[in-house]
Structure 1
Amino acid sequence: MLKTHLVDGIEVFSCLPGRKNDKPPLLFVHGAFAGGWMWTETIMPTLARAGYPCYALSLRGHGGSAGREEINWHSVADYVDDVKAVVDWLAASPVLIGHSMGGFIVQKYLEHRPAAGAALICSVPPQGLIASQFHLLFSKPHLFLELNRILSGEYTDTDTLREALFAGEVDEAMLGAWLTRMQNESQRAILDMTMFNLPNLFAMHRPPMLILGAEEDVLVPAFLVQTTAHTYGQKAHIFRHMGHAVTHEKEWPLVAAALQDWLEDIRP
């Protein structure tokens, strides 16, 4: 059963297994323009049924968390503090699972604290956003401009959302619901991820890691996911015929299965 909590002003969703066990909790960190809700319909219930206590936070200024009015001033360091607060509330070291910007925040968190594991899904690479921004600018300039409009708080449409996030067949009702929950993102956080607060690779804890990407991702292309994997001495798993929003592509159960298989290997 999905429940909602408020932890120091941070919205936290929980989806727990039917009985207690020794499996580590999972803490999901969403990407830009989104909220904890992006995990609640697909990945969280699936992994909870597999026995994992699942939690997803909405970073400050996102979803039902406090701070929406000041969102353009929130930094990546602020977002890391939000993750720390929820981890303290859990009172256990979780496996961190981050998508896109959330994967970047997970990397920054590991500068400060260890974790039971870290899964980076279509994550902003440790080298930052510059390469992906230039790739999008030259390959899809119209989409680059539209995403910058969204960053400034302007509305978009389902066609733009489909092109930016999905590669396969998309359920129109899901797409419309996603659009109503999208929001603008902190411009300060985008600058942090571009060049001003990149991960310090020498300071990071190195838990077991999983690197996942999507073949047709136009926001974090597969070659940048491979770069992330190479940086951390890992192999990347690239899902074919999927776009950036792998949590809601038609084949999303493949992503859940990859996470579950990896989680079974890192159990204490």
Structure 2
Amino acid sequence: MAAPIMLIHGAWLTPSSWDRFRQFYERQGLAVSAPPWPGMDRPIDILRQRPARALARLGVKQLVDHYSALVAASPAPPVLIGHSFGGLIVQLLLERGLGAAGVAIAPVPPFGVAPHPRAAWTSLPVFIAWNGWNRVMTMSLRGFSTGFAQTLPPAERLYAHDKFIVPTPGRIFFQALLGIGNRLRWDNPARPPLLLIAGGRDRTVPAAMVESNYRRQLGAPSTTSYCKFAGRSHFLCNEAGWEQVAEAALAWALEHARGMP
């Protein structure tokens, strides 16, 4: 029997960003969950108008602890699939030996992978915001259109921004940069198999950054793989061709998941 699938969303997004993947996997008879970050289990309009106060204090370790408890409560070790900051969470869960396998899509890397200049540019509004460490930040339509989903047709960008983008804690960006809660052993013998997926035109986590992460992750003895989808932005789980990403992630996971026949 195939492992259950746990989908982990990233910053600026909610579990609704996984609806296409979830339905795609469920049609294949798989058990799929997409739990929200703490404080984000609310309708999108409420998250925008009245984000939970605790969201401003949410850090990387709290996120990993949150998902660690969910993985531990799963009836079987799940395949962990995460996007962006969710991809970082996947890597940190694998560091704890959790999950049958992990797929990190356009993932924020663990500490020790140098930031790409373009990644620094797209995240600059968070870093220069006054008191950004203690604030819930928002992403403008301009930021979404130029740094997150620039490959979307212009007519679709406003719709996608309104449908998917919500406030997110600024603190996690600072912690990722400073190595707070996101360090790992590159040669960890307990780490389950890992697939890293990059978008060829990603400006938030450029492919070169994912490739650098991949080279570091090769230090672990378990399977480590990498693939790149040309022409895709950071929004590759919801732009044209998302099915190819979903299928590649699933096929690799079912082949490499620990404990599967």
TM-score range, shorter chain: 0.7 to 0.9
Looking at structure 2, the residues matched to 31 and 128 of structure 1 have their Cα atoms a distance apart, in angstroms, of: 20
Query: Who is 1:46 aligned against?
Result: 24
Calculate the TM-score normalised by the size of structure 1. Answer: 0.79
Which structure would you say has the larger RCO, counting Cα contacts within 8 Å and 6 or more residues apart? 2
Q: 1:110 is paired with a residue of what secondary structure?
A: helix
Choose the corresponding residue for 2:246, options 221, 243, 256.
Answer: 256
Query: Who is 1:117 aligned against?
Result: 101
Q: Identity of paired residues, percent?
A: 24
Query: Who is 1:209 aligned against?
Result: 194
Query: Who is 1:231 aligned against?
Result: 216
Asked if structure 2 preserves the Cα contact closer than 8 Å seen for 1:167 and 1:242, the reply is no
Change (3 A) 1:85 1:249: same
Calculate the TM-score normalised by the size of structure 2. Answer: 0.80
Change (3 A) 1:165 1:187: closer
Choose the corresponding residue for 1:243, options 222, 233, 237.
Answer: 233
- State how 1:79-98 maps to structure 2 within 5 Å: 79-98=63-82
Task: Report the Cα offset of residue 145 of structure 1.
Answer: 4.3
Is the aligned partner of 1:35 residue 2:14? Answer: yes
Asked if structure 1 preserves the Cα contact closer than 8 Å seen for 2:204 and 2:234, the reply is yes
Looking at structure 2, the residues matched to 155 and 235 of structure 1 have their Cα atoms a distance apart, in angstroms, of: 33
Looking at structure 1, the residues matched to 67 and 201 of structure 2 have their Cα atoms a distance apart, in angstroms, of: 29
Which amino acid is the alignment partner of residue 82 of structure 2?
Answer: G
Asked if structure 1 preserves the Cα contact closer than 8 Å seen for 2:10 and 2:84, the reply is yes
Query: Who is 1:265 aligned against?
Result: 255
Alignment RMSD, CA only?
Answer: 2.8
Number of residue equivalences: 241
Looking at structure 2, the residues matched to 224 and 192 of structure 1 have their Cα atoms a distance apart, in angstroms, of: 18
Query: Who is 1:221 aligned against?
Result: 206
Task: Report the Cα offset of residue 84 of structure 1.
Answer: 2.0
Gaps of 5+ in 1: 1-21
